[in-house]
Chains A and B, each alone.
Chain A
Amino acid sequence: DIVMTQSPDSLAVSLGERATINCKSSQSVLYSPNNKNYLAWYQHKPGQPPKLLIYWASTRESGVPDRFSGSGSETDFTLTISSLQAEDVAVYYCQQYYSNSITFGQGTRLEIK
């Protein structure tokens, strides 16, 4: 299985400041025929199901605020929240869907400083 490792495990950022979460895969999730990275980011709040934020590493899901952005390729990826809002407090997960055995990172807990 492809192992997904996120860093840091937890993060405290002041309101209005930038938050950056990293995700590394144990093998490339870039599918060469279409040059797409099969990497998604999800936001998970207590008592709610996960919410899709980003797919193909950098494409924002419809309705997701533009302060959320994704970048990276092959094995190294980043989720950036440009200006943290109170409602962004959550656990964030990266996910690879390159292989039929889908795997998630361990999650990064984002809090307000």
Chain B
Amino acid sequence: QVQLVESGGGVVQPGRSLRLSCAASGFTFSRSAMHYVRQAPGRRLEWVAVIWSDGSKKYYADSVKGRFTISRDNSKNTLYLQMDSLRAEDTAVYYCARKNPEGAFDIWGQGTMVTVSS
């Protein structure tokens, strides 16, 4: 069935790195732009990054620019988020999501928790 399965979350110390993965199935991953969205405890949903279907364009929220890198491997139907120089304020549930042809996010992963703490 159509789904996104996330992995890679965990507890990490400030300044360290973590890589999230999002495995897609049930749809043509290589034709879909993909996003990451996060939600810190008690906060609103915050868009993090987007990557075009062919990987040619990437955009980031100012809060993560220069520290996070979104990438994809269309041969493996997998999306990645490399998170470097992590800060306490990066603590959140991270979701991957597919952008539908109309631009909205119609398929979401189950979310993976990232906790940045010493």
Distance from B27 Cβ to chain A, minimum over Cβ atoms (Å): 14
Q: In the complex, are the beta carbons of A52 and B45 less than 8 A apart? A: no
Q: In the complex, are the beta carbons of B44 and A40 less than 8 A apart? A: no
How many contacts A-B (CB < 8 Å)? 61
**A interface residue numbers (CB < 8 A to B):** 1, 38, 40, 42, 44, 48-52, 55-56, 59, 61, 93, 95, 97, 100-107
Residues in A whose Cβ lies below 8 Å from that of B35: 102
Q: In the complex, are the beta carbons of B108 and A49 less than 8 A apart? A: yes
Q: In the complex, are the beta carbons of A40 and B59 less than 8 A apart? A: no
Residues in A whose Cβ lies below 8 Å from that of B44: 93, 104-107
Residues in B whose Cβ lies below 8 Å from that of A102: 35, 47, 50
Q: In the complex, are the beta carbons of B103 and A93 less than 8 A apart? A: no
Distance from B2 Cβ to chain A, minimum over Cβ atoms (Å): 12
**B interface residue numbers (CB < 8 A to A):** 35, 37, 44-47, 50, 59, 61-62, 95, 97, 99-100, 102-106, 108-111
Q: List 18 A-B contacts (CB under 8 A).
A: A38-B103, A44-B45, A49-B111, A52-B104, A52-B106, A55-B103, A56-B104, A59-B102, A61-B104, A61-B106, A95-B45, A100-B50, A101-B47, A101-B61, A102-B47, A102-B50, A107-B44, A107-B45
Q: When chains A and B are docked, how far (Å) is the Cα of A97 from the Cα of B106? A: 13
Report if A52-B59 is in contact (Cβ < 8 Å); known contacts: A93-B44, A100-B50, A104-B44. no
Q: When chains A and B are docked, how far (Å) is the Cα of A44 from the Cα of B95? A: 12
Residues in B whose Cβ lies below 8 Å from that of A100: 50, 59
Cβ-neighbour of B109 out of A49, A61, A106 (below 8 A): A49
